[in-house]
Amino acid sequence: MQEMWLHKCLNSQVMKEGGNPKQAFFEKAGIYAEFSKVICISVGYLQITEEYDPVTNKNIQIPVQIRIRSFSGHNERIVLLEFAEMVNKYYADGSRNAWVAHNGLEFDYPVLSRRMIVNRVPLPKPLDIAGSKSWNNAWLLDTMNLWKFGDYKSYTSLALLAAVFDIPTPKDDISGKDIADVYYNQSDLARIINYCQKDVITLIKIYCRIHLLELPENIEIVIKEDFAID
């Protein structure tokens, strides 16, 4: 695999000219499914109720709770198996549940799927999309794509959107570039889990802002061991 990484460095833009392949590995390899390891998957579920609005004479959606769950550990296959089990148990029908991630179409969805295949984990139905057309996977949403409105010029980070919407940044402790150091050198998985959960909460807030769905400032946030839908 070292040879494969060196080959990738020399034949792509992974490493700037004159850079060090070893340094580039710790800085960049995690974004490539072939060289990465999944140690934490944090997911969130926004519970919404409907209430009658006498002003508009219509039912309106009211967010009432954010549920968060993390799958984490040093054994990648177990992390992926537990995540897949949750998906198959509660979210197997993609037509009933929308998935949302930031840059998910380019990163989260394909990376998780590829790492499952590497670890011999059967793909849950919503991620079993290899070779399908994007319009057939309408349940896989991406806040970065939603924000583009058809524009292909630039990448907009989750942190930037949070700043634009005046939402507290989830990067107040560490960011994605720090994960390798925190995991391999500091052995602090709990810190990474906390970072991932804050990312998910921020993602939910951004998604709601894009859709003009007002979240109460004091909305209840619950960290759960189970993830059933009421």
Q: Which amino acid is at 14?
A: V
β-strand pairing of 140-142 with 99-101: parallel
Token digits of residue 208: 């709601």
Kindly tell me the burial class for residue 195, based on how many C-beta atoms sit within 10 Å of its own C-beta (0-12, 13-18, 19 or more): buried
Domains of the chain in start order, with CATH, are 1-36 (no CATH), 73-215 (3.30.420.10)
Q: What is the dihedral of CA 189, 192, 194, 198, to 10 degrees?
A: -160
The pLDDT, as a whole number, for residue 186 is 95
Sign of CA dihedral 194, 199, 202, 203: negative
Q: How far apart are CA 197 and CA 180, in angstroms?
A: 17
In tens digits, what is the pLDDT along the chain, a chain of 230 residues?
999 998 888 777 666 655 788 888 888 888 899 999 999 999 999 888 888 888 888 888 888 899 999 999 999 999 999 999 999 988 887 667 789 999 999 999 999 999 999 999 999 988 988 887 766 788 899 999 999 988 887 789 999 999 999 998 888 888 888 999 999 999 999 999 999 999 999 999 999 999 988 888 888 899 876 655 44
